[in-house]
Structure formats: C-alpha cells, structure tokens
Structure 1
Amino acid sequence: MQPLVHDHLLPYADRLPERPAAAVELVVIHCTELPDLATAREYGERVLYDGGAGNSGHYYIDRDGTVWRYVPGTRVAHHVRGHNERSIGIELVNRGRYPDWFDSRRQTMSEPYPAGQIAALRGLLARLRAEFPNLAMVAGHEDLDTARVPASDDPSLEVPRKLDPGPLFPWEDALAGSGLRRIGAGPLPL
C-alpha cells in the first residue's frame, strides 16, 4: 500500500536544478542521525551553497511511518556526494550516532527501525518505481560515501564519515517486492 505523502517543500526547493523523471535510476537510503524530524528539518533548511540551497533528502519518513516530501523527485537534492543527479534520497528519522558522529568511542548505531517506518518505506519505494521509469537500483548512504575523517576525540584515528542507514537497517524486509537491485560501494553501473 502506498503511503500518503505530505508536501512540506524546503524554502529553496524551486532553486534546485530540474531533471526529467527518466534521469532517476537510484534510491539512496539514509538515516537522519538526529533526534527527531523537527531537528532534521532545521538542518535541511540551512543554506550551505552559493545557489541558496542546503543538504537534504527528497523524502523523510518519521518513526511512526509518516512520509514528508521536502524536495520534488524531479529536482536534484544534495544528499550524497557524487550521485545526486541520478538519485532520490530517502531519510529515515533515526538517532544513528547522534550527537557524537565522529567520536571513535561512539560508532555503534543502536536505534532499531520501527516496523511502521519500514512499511512506509516499502510503500514509498513502490510509488517511486511507478513515477520514475528507470529506477532500478538502491544503495545505503554508507555504500556510496566511504570517506573516513579524523575522529573528534582522537584525530590520529579515523572513523567513517557516513554509516547510514547502518547495521540495524533491515535490508531484506525493506526491499521485499521492490524490484530494486542493491548496489555496493564504487561507481554505479552504466
């Protein structure tokens, strides 16, 4: 069943580059690594680029399964380095490593993904497959952004820049019946 999608477009959404639906080939699954949807919205509204845009996924799914669209799928959002032009970003509200993202002693993600959130994700993936004719692949943020950064507690150590959606994400359940092929690290297939 496809979930109801609530539009709450970011203030700069109309400034993001447009693209045809046929350009979208990939969905990237993220977790917000923030405590709640309100905080994720605040981060998404921050202007970080000269063009007046910031970092944001296209869709956000709250813990209760409510789905929000922050950026239309026919616009290029800033959600994963090097893959934005061909992808749609879906952010799942989850604490992840918050607030110690880069502390080497706190790299364990311990919040499970609620069943309602995963059910809403499955429904959203079905909707996206219908809207974007070339959508065939899915990846986690961690699969595509494998950069490492100095640890905040000990700069002589390195930690992953991105770990989401993380080890507790139920890939098999989330992708059941989606028809999407999961890809790993490295360049996308042509």
Structure 2
Amino acid sequence: MPADLPPADVLATGHHAPLPYEIRLPERPRTAIDLVVIHCTETPDLASARRFGERVLYGSGTGNSGHYYIDRDGSLHVYVAPERVAHHTRGYNERAVGIELVNTGRYPHWLDSRHQAMDEPYTPAQIQTLKALLASLREALPNLVYIAGHEDLDTATEPASDDPARRVFRKRDPGPLFPWPEVLAGSGLERIRAEP
C-alpha cells in the first residue's frame, strides 16, 4: 500500500475475494460492531491461511476466518464483509471485526509446549496497512471504540500436544512482537481484555 494513501481509500485498494460460504454467515447492522480483534494467521503464507478459512467446520456450511487479511507486503484482502458475522473469536463474533496478519506464529506446532515462541516480526508494510484500515473502519463503523488481541479475549488453555499433563494457551496471537503502542497511537480505540 502506498505510504500516502488516505485511510478512506485503503478498502478501495483491497483485494475483495469473499470466502465461498460468506453468504451463509449471519448478517448484522454496522452499528452492532464496537470491537476489532487483531489476529495472526499462524500459517506460512496467505494461500495457506485462505485454505484454512475455506474449510467448512459447522453445520451451517461455514468455517473459521477473519474479515480482513494483511499479507507481509502490506496488501489487504477482504474475505468477509463486515456486515457478516465471521467466526474468529469465541464469544465476541457478533460484535467484532477480525483482522488477520500473515505471520507464522507457532506454525505448525501450535499446541506443542516446546514450540510456544512467536518470533516472526510483523513487517512495517503490514503495520502501515493495519493503521490505515483501522482509521477507515473508524469512519465506516459508527460505534467502533474497542480493540483487542485474540490472546486478550481467548485466554483458555488446552493440554499440550507433546505432553497432555502440561497446558498451553489456545491462542497467543498477535503475540509479543505485535507493536501495540504504535498501533494504538492516534487510533482512537481503547484496548480491552477479557474479564478475569
């Protein structure tokens, strides 16, 4: 995305590629959205993230995905319109928009206790696009006031895949290398976390 692109234009330059089941996702008014949840794909690339998103996991014929995906080069991909409820954060989907940043995270050993480090930095291009997207969404969604990381809201643990006696966090994204101060500065959004 060009550095001088106004925030209002970021959605116009995005690649619109709706998931095959998008029309099956429940509709909602834009006024129902007050939260953005930041994720990382925990996959090696955008293509594999797309394949995960296309998987049908529910009786409704839908699966798990975010609304927006930002690749390492800063390109924006729209998989689900914000007027649809996507499955991306348990307990928050009806009120939230999900933004996925392509990043390996813990791939492919998500729940292995020996592989919980998330050490791939986010690219400057990704963060630039994310900030422009957040500004655009603030204009388009009148009640948008909150932001959270997936790890802030889904704090559940599961048995580790390598040792069921140990527990690991289900979700750790966007992880310790996500630049929260830079993203929050000037965003007009308040970071929230799950109630203990």
TM-score, with normalisation over the residues of structure 2? Answer: 0.94
Provide, for residues 91-136 of structure 1, a one-character-per-residue CA deviation record: whole Å limited to 9, x for no partner.
0000000011011011010000000100000000011001100000
Q: How far did 1:174 drift?
A: 1.5
SS in 2 for 1:60: strand
Q: Confirm or deny that 1:38 pairs with 2:47.
A: yes
The separation in 2 between residues aligned to 1:66 and 1:131, in whole angstroms, is 20
Q: Determine which of 16, 23, 32 is the counterpart of 2:32.
A: 23
The separation in 2 between residues aligned to 1:94 and 1:19, in whole angstroms, is 29
- Number of the residue aligned with 1:117: 126
The separation in 2 between residues aligned to 1:156 and 1:58, in whole angstroms, is 35
SS in 2 for 1:105: coil
The separation in 1 between residues aligned to 2:139 and 2:14, in whole angstroms, is 15
- Number of the residue aligned with 1:85: 94
- Opposite residue 18 of structure 1, the aligned amino acid is E
- Unaligned runs of 5+ residues in structure 2 are 1-5
- Opposite residue 176 of structure 1, the aligned amino acid is A
- Number of the residue aligned with 1:49: 58
Aligned pairs, number: 187
Q: Determine which of 135, 151, 156 is the counterpart of 1:147.
A: 156
CA RMSD, aligned part only? 0.9
- Unaligned runs of 5+ residues in structure 1 are none
- Opposite residue 139 of structure 2, the aligned amino acid is A
- Opposite residue 93 of structure 1, the aligned amino acid is V
- Number of the residue aligned with 1:64: 73
TM-score, with normalisation over the residues of structure 1? Answer: 0.97
The separation in 1 between residues aligned to 2:104 and 2:184, in whole angstroms, is 22
- Number of the residue aligned with 1:98: 107
Q: Determine which of 182, 190, 196 is the counterpart of 1:181.
A: 190
Q: How far did 1:175 drift?
A: 2.0
Provide, for residues 12-57 of structure 1, a one-character-per-residue CA deviation record: whole Å limited to 9, x for no partner.
0011000000000000000000000000000000000001000000
Q: How far did 1:186 drift?
A: 1.9
Q: How far did 1:78 drift?
A: 0.2
- Number of the residue aligned with 1:172: 181
Provide, for residues 51-75 of structure 1, a one-character-per-residue CA deviation record: whole Å limited to 9, x for no partner.
1000000000000100001000000
Report the identity percentage: 65
The separation in 1 between residues aligned to 2:185 and 2:86, in whole angstroms, is 26
- Opposite residue 123 of structure 2, the aligned amino acid is P
Q: How far did 1:5 drift?
A: 1.6
- Number of the residue aligned with 1:107: 116
The separation in 2 between residues aligned to 1:175 and 1:115, in whole angstroms, is 15
Q: How far did 1:176 drift?
A: 2.0
- Number of the residue aligned with 1:130: 139
Range moving further from structure 2, 117-126 or 172-181: 172-181
